[in-house]
Structure 1
Amino acid sequence: MDYCIQDHVLQPEHTGVKAPALGELSESARQFAQAAALVGDLFTLQEIALVQSVPTLSMLAALEETVSAGLIRFAGDRLTFRSPDIRRAFSATIPAPVRRMLLRRSPAPGLGRQPSPEVCGTRDALVSALLLPQDGPGRLLDPCTGETARRAAVEAFSSAGMPRSEASSILSMCGHDEGERRDRARALITARRPGAASVVAAVVLSNLEWAAGRLDEALRWGHEALDRGQEVLPPSWRPYPSLTLAEKLTQIDRFSEAEGELKRASEAAERSGHRRAMAELAVVRGRLLLGAGRTEAAEAALRSGVSLAQRIHAGLPAAHGLSLLSFLSLERGHQGEAADQVWQARMELLDQPGALPSVQHSWADFLVATAGMDARASVDLLVRRYPDLLTSSSLFLRDPGTAARLVRLSRAAGENSLASAVTRRVERLAERNGGHPGFTAAAEHVRGLLHEAPDALEFAAAEHRTPWAAAAAHEDLGILLLARHGRHHGMAHRHLGAAIERYRAIGSRSAVTRVTALLRESRETPDHQEAPRRRETPQRPAGSPVLTAAEDRIAHLVAEGLTNKQVAGRVSCSPHTVNYHLRQIFRKLGVTSRVELARLVD
């Protein structure tokens, strides 16, 4: 029996039987059904008890009432709603504060569940899973999609007049074993046989290298895929090599290059009329604009992508877009709206259960669930409900600025070991990808927070490529300087002011309010004037800019002939920070070489 929704009354379609209005259920039965709507199409009594934090046996009466009302039925050893519309109806009745509470208690979306085979995998979903970057090097597709994926690939190649053998070669790279996928992709590349399989192999290798944190190699394979020609792919596949490269470039803040690839992917999608690719393009473009700090344009692109994805029942790109919108809503101080968006994202994932859970959705879940929660409770929830955020590098690949947030939270909760673990992970990413300044800045940012190192935070504030991360580094540095030097420290005020300017430019109203209040509280009295800093470097030309204490020490060590690495060991910072300070020293003193610096200092 299927149901439709009319004014919050569940009506069975094509029958004369009337289902009960939601208001006719007892309060316990209504709460039971609302919790079940969060858990998904298939659930157990134990899962509902976990969400509601009550004993399992206490759920029996509510279960009996909902079953008798024709809302829920047994499906083997599990339970399910009679119709997806029934689940949506109960989901729509949950107030935002209750949603936030349930989000804190419920399992992360998609974890530990067996999806329904009849809704797993479509032709378009196969292409997205195979060609777009994944959160890890594990399986690409849920096990139930194997046969559906095979049929979809064969159909795509047959309709394009291409040999079915190409489809078989491509499907050989869809296994669960990372090493096997890598070997098969390399074998197809080595064979030097032109065709769709070699293009897909290059994309697969690019995604595997990306998930492993080897970004330069991943980008090399991404460009290799484009060089092999997208015209050898079925028309509906052609947008994806450019789209997946654009997403990677966006994650490392190379926005202009990403724009070029998005334009190429958009042209291919429009030529083929591929609406799922168009939706995914809009979401990636929204992500790009969000990273660049163009929040109004980002919101428009994300809403457009979500709307299109929902119209064509593409749950995964809709969930991606909603997760990003929830972040934007939180930054604007709209917690209720953010909770609604995370809730909708969960519903989209549950409507497409073949999709594997994403760290992006877990991160959005965590941010909304912990909004307004103290640091200790937030860390407890992080460890208990969202361990994937701590065990995967994918979160830091998607947004290096998230590492600073985790370290800041861990230190506030007194969990320095957790803060150290996050710092080490980000430092390893930076070491492995030295040519990408975003990771270097992120590593210095977390190191500065962990060790309370102003030099590292100053480096991060200057070198972060995204305005969100730069603003956070200025705020962190201002707070540290206030703690060290008191409320009337002029440099602290300047960094807090810089943070406010950046937050205001990107529309982060909650951050502007927070930092403005801190600055107002610590502002200097009108008649106070900061004492001029004494020049500390001897024999400098009159009127030359003043070096900070850290710059002065580094200048003398460099003048003694030490390398950047040796200087870093002496002053307990990284070579990247030394290099940053050295550039500042050269600029301030008007010198262009270490020899000139040595002459001036000596």
Structure 2
Amino acid sequence: MRPTIEKQDSVAAPLRGLLAADADDGLLDFAAGASGNPRLLAELVLGLVEEGLIKEQNGTVRLTGPQVPLRVLTFVKNRLTDLSPNCQQFLKVAAMLGKSFMLEDVSRMLDQSSATLLPPLEEAMSSGFIIAAEHQFAFHSDFLFQGVIESIPVPARGALQREALGHSGKRVQAHDQQFWVTERKPEPSVRFKEEVDGTCSRAHSLIVNGNAAEGIRVAERILSGPTASAADRLDAEASVILGYSLLGKQEADEHSVRILRERGTRQGDIAALMALTTLSNARWRSGELAEGLSLGRTAVRYSEDVDPVWRLHFRLALAGKHANLREFDKAEPLINEAETGLRSLPTQVWTAAPAAMRSRMFLQAGRFGDARRQAELATAAVEGEAFPVLRPLAHSVLSAVCLYVGDLATAAEYLKRVQDELAGDEVVFHSAQYAWTELRIAVKTEGPQAAIDLLSDKYSHLPTQRSLYIEDPGAAAFLVRLALDVGDTNLLHRVLETVDGLAGDNPGISVISLGAMHAYALANSDPTALARIVAQSPDPISVALATEELAKLYAAKTPLRRGQAPSIYRASQPAGSDEAGAQQKAMCWASLSDMERRIAYLVSVGMTNRQIAGRVHLSAHTVNYHLRKVYKKLGINTRVELARGAALYSSRAAIYSMEDEGHGGSGRPGGEAF
């Protein structure tokens, strides 16, 4: 779990003194792994500086990678040498059981009574390595735990991990595993199976490479045999659940419910954790967001000591949910942790998976350049580093990026790759984004009626598919605009009813409620609600869509001189601009921060700095400061130029423009922005 505000505050002051600058939330979270130890915190800062893992920007220091510096690990190892041999042995064995552990499990591994372990336990506690939790003991900090793990010779870690699993796997209870003080966990070395490249089982590898049916058969043969080890049976159970889940079979939920009912959740039980993740995904797709998050967080919390190749699934699934809620500060660390775990393996495997998920997150954040680079990494990976299950998702990201920047031909090419992958024999990860991307390309290339035809036939389920509005909160507004433009009241009612129900079932989740508000604002031509979307929505595409609609409403109320079109529409028609230049401008606009983009949009619809200040809850002076930064980033000097950029970016986000040289209602695809 994330550190509490109090814990962040407790580390903020020491960090400020060491860095001579403020630390951002990511760095505060990571530094909380020192658990307030001033010497450990100092070593951390020195190590981060030495290894270039932090960067100062605008007076704030941020973490560039969640990697524990070598200096910290060396410091912990040196502290270990000051302890007695018995205490060192106690700590190393305890670390193999996890950050929190039961004394009786250590006694079993050492084949000693608990009473004989009291002296080394007391020494470990007095030295600050160990503390007593409510039901068990625990390492005082993440960094101490990591350092002890690193002090064990690599060849010995696998054997100790396997032995630890045998001694503790059935004893650890749910309430014992909630001690972690930070979500930036250490990466202990773990046991690896020897069947495929030394990193994962054959069943698991088959499934991830798209052959789910064969992977399930291999796993079921292991489960039906009498000689499989406990670890192999757990892997086989988890593989069966994963395979059925990717196939979209009810058996995935049935197996998951049975496993959790029979033995509950415990640290290191990858089958139970896969069951939690599968049920989390099912709840999420149905619109039960709080329950989906809770199950996903539980799976991540109990997965500290499992193989990185399994931990990958639990972390990426939760990261995707946070990204859907536009909680990128929570999503990115999970993706980074999954990637760090994979890169710690003796053989690089499935490293394309974090890149694919990161590309989707960057697309949702409006960071088109970063999204493209990560998607290209994911699709270029081959053999062991590839992750075929997620390749269609990466190609859909590339298609969407090209669509947003106006490269329709390339967008269509990437969409064709997605469709070919979906039609192939390999099982892939399914997402509403594939249909959604095709629909938007159809609007742009063939016109609104082409999209209506798709929604009436191939994608008739899409307007009532809750997962679409969870993944893309601007989708409801887009479909409402489409319905209004073609006069399709049935589509309008289906969309509004679906998002209204989704918002009602998830009170307190702002991105969902704002998505519903946006849809109703368009349906009712409500400028107040649209302005609120511009000022508050965490989704940059929703903000762009709301800006375009708000500009239309303002323009309709503004008297024009004879023969003059509204400036925002004239601005969206860059005379003679070449496509590469227009794409570059869109990329520059996407580089703005959320607050900068909001202020720029509000400027573009004619608001003064004082009016904007009231909308975004800042002073007029601060608004002016942000505007100067926007001008610098975009290479412009006036509010008129800013309005031009906002119009261009908004019309690209809207995918099609209903305006033709300042006169509404043409319904012509493409508009003049391209």
1:424 is matched with which residue: 497, 501, 504? 497
CA deviation after TM superposition for structure 1 residue 127, in Å: 5.5
CA distance in 1, matches of 2:288, 2:349: 29
Higher alpha-carbon deviation: 415-424 or 307-316 = 307-316
Matched, 1:304 2:377: yes
Corresponding residue of 1:187: 261
CA deviation after TM superposition for structure 1 residue 321, in Å: 0.7
Matched, 1:124 2:198: no
Question: Residue 287 of structure 1 contacts residue 324 of structure 1 at CA under 8 Å; is this kept in 2?
Answer: yes
CA deviation after TM superposition for structure 1 residue 346, in Å: 2.1
CA deviation after TM superposition for structure 1 residue 427, in Å: 2.0
CA deviation after TM superposition for structure 1 residue 493, in Å: 6.2
Instruction: Call closer, same or farther: CA 1:339–1:502 in 2, change over 3 Å.
Output: closer
1:231 is paired with a residue of what secondary structure? Answer: coil
Corresponding residue of 1:448: 521
Deviation by residue 1:123-144 (Cα, 9 ceiling, x = unmatched): 3363699xxxxxxxxxxx9778
5 Å-filtered alignment, 1:283-432, equals: 283-308=356-381, 314-355=387-428, 358-432=431-505
CA distance in 2, matches of 1:495, 1:433: 37
Instruction: Call closer, same or farther: CA 1:154–1:460 in 2, change over 3 Å.
Output: farther
Question: Residue 277 of structure 2 contacts residue 296 of structure 2 at CA under 8 Å; is this kept in 1?
Answer: yes
Question: Residue 468 of structure 2 contacts residue 475 of structure 2 at CA under 8 Å; is this kept in 1?
Answer: yes
Question: Residue 521 of structure 2 contacts residue 530 of structure 2 at CA under 8 Å; is this kept in 1?
Answer: yes
The two structures have a TM-score, normalised by structure 2, of: 0.50
Corresponding residue of 2:240: 171
Higher alpha-carbon deviation: 142-151 or 385-394 = 142-151
CA deviation after TM superposition for structure 1 residue 413, in Å: 0.8
1:371 is paired with a residue of what secondary structure? Answer: helix
CA distance in 2, matches of 1:283, 1:235: 17
Deviation by residue 1:385-421 (Cα, 9 ceiling, x = unmatched): 2223223111111111122111111111111221121
CA deviation after TM superposition for structure 1 residue 285, in Å: 0.8
Corresponding residue of 2:71: none
CA deviation after TM superposition for structure 1 residue 210, in Å: 0.8
Instruction: Call closer, same or farther: CA 1:427–1:163 in 2, change over 3 Å.
Output: same
5 Å-filtered alignment, 1:380-529, equals: 380-487=453-560, 504=585, 506=587
The amino acid that maps onto 1:171 is V
Deviation by residue 1:346-390 (Cα, 9 ceiling, x = unmatched): 223334443375422222222223323222332122221222322
Q: How many residues align?
A: 391
Instruction: Call closer, same or farther: CA 1:170–1:333 in 2, change over 3 Å.
Output: closer
Runs of 5+ consecutive residues of structure 2 not aligned to the other structure = 1-201, 575-581, 591-603, 621-674
2:320 is matched with which residue: 207, 225, 247? 247
Instruction: Call closer, same or farther: CA 1:125–1:470 in 2, change over 3 Å.
Output: farther
Question: Residue 315 of structure 1 contacts residue 348 of structure 1 at CA under 8 Å; is this kept in 2?
Answer: no
CA distance in 1, matches of 2:268, 2:391: 35
The two structures have a TM-score, normalised by structure 1, of: 0.56
Instruction: Call closer, same or farther: CA 1:127–1:357 in 2, change over 3 Å.
Output: closer
Question: Residue 142 of structure 1 contacts residue 355 of structure 1 at CA under 8 Å; is this kept in 2?
Answer: no
1:237 is matched with which residue: 307, 310, 328? 310
CA deviation after TM superposition for structure 1 residue 474, in Å: 0.8
CA deviation after TM superposition for structure 1 residue 313, in Å: 6.5
Runs of 5+ consecutive residues of structure 1 not aligned to the other structure = 1-120, 130-140, 510-522, 525-529, 534-543, 548-579, 589-602
Instruction: Call closer, same or farther: CA 1:318–1:384 in 2, change over 3 Å.
Output: same
CA distance in 1, matches of 2:545, 2:394: 24
Question: Residue 126 of structure 1 contacts residue 149 of structure 1 at CA under 8 Å; is this kept in 2?
Answer: no
2:276 is matched with which residue: 199, 202, 205? 202
CA deviation after TM superposition for structure 1 residue 250, in Å: 0.9
CA distance in 2, matches of 1:207, 1:426: 19
Instruction: Call closer, same or farther: CA 1:545–1:228 in 2, change over 3 Å.
Output: closer
Instruction: Call closer, same or farther: CA 1:472–1:546 in 2, change over 3 Å.
Output: closer
Corresponding residue of 1:162: 231
CA deviation after TM superposition for structure 1 residue 586, in Å: 12
CA distance in 1, matches of 2:423, 2:611: 60
Question: Residue 405 of structure 2 contacts residue 586 of structure 2 at CA under 8 Å; is this kept in 1?
Answer: no
CA deviation after TM superposition for structure 1 residue 209, in Å: 1.7
Deviation by residue 1:35-82 (Cα, 9 ceiling, x = unmatched): xxxxxxxxxxxxxxxxxxxxxxxxxxxxxxxxxxxxxxxxxxxxxxxx
CA deviation after TM superposition for structure 1 residue 434, in Å: 2.5
CA distance in 1, matches of 2:358, 2:491: 33
Question: Residue 123 of structure 1 contacts residue 153 of structure 1 at CA under 8 Å; is this kept in 2?
Answer: no
Deviation by residue 1:508-531 (Cα, 9 ceiling, x = unmatched): 79xxxxxxxxxxxxx99xxxxx9x
CA deviation after TM superposition for structure 1 residue 486, in Å: 4.7
Question: Residue 241 of structure 2 contacts residue 274 of structure 2 at CA under 8 Å; is this kept in 1?
Answer: no
2:295 is matched with which residue: 215, 221, 228? 221
CA deviation after TM superposition for structure 1 residue 329, in Å: 0.7
2:434 is paired with a residue of what secondary structure? Answer: helix
Question: Residue 216 of structure 1 contacts residue 433 of structure 1 at CA under 8 Å; is this kept in 2?
Answer: yes
Corresponding residue of 1:150: 220
CA distance in 1, matches of 2:422, 2:348: 19
Question: Residue 268 of structure 2 contacts residue 304 of structure 2 at CA under 8 Å; is this kept in 1?
Answer: no
CA distance in 2, matches of 1:496, 1:308: 44
CA deviation after TM superposition for structure 1 residue 440, in Å: 1.8
Higher alpha-carbon deviation: 246-255 or 498-507 = 498-507
Higher alpha-carbon deviation: 390-399 or 175-184 = 175-184
CA distance in 2, matches of 1:484, 1:219: 44
CA deviation after TM superposition for structure 1 residue 147, in Å: 2.0
User: Equivalent pairs: percent with the same residue?
Assistant: 25
CA deviation after TM superposition for structure 1 residue 303, in Å: 0.5
CA deviation after TM superposition for structure 1 residue 340, in Å: 0.9
Instruction: Call closer, same or farther: CA 1:463–1:252 in 2, change over 3 Å.
Output: same
Question: Residue 189 of structure 1 contacts residue 201 of structure 1 at CA under 8 Å; is this kept in 2?
Answer: no
The amino acid that maps onto 1:365 is E
2:250 is paired with a residue of what secondary structure? Answer: coil
Deviation by residue 1:169-205 (Cα, 9 ceiling, x = unmatched): 7636845157635632541564768622222222122
Question: Residue 399 of structure 2 contacts residue 414 of structure 2 at CA under 8 Å; is this kept in 1?
Answer: yes
The amino acid that maps onto 1:389 is L
User: What's the RMSD between the two structures over aligned residues?
Assistant: 4.4
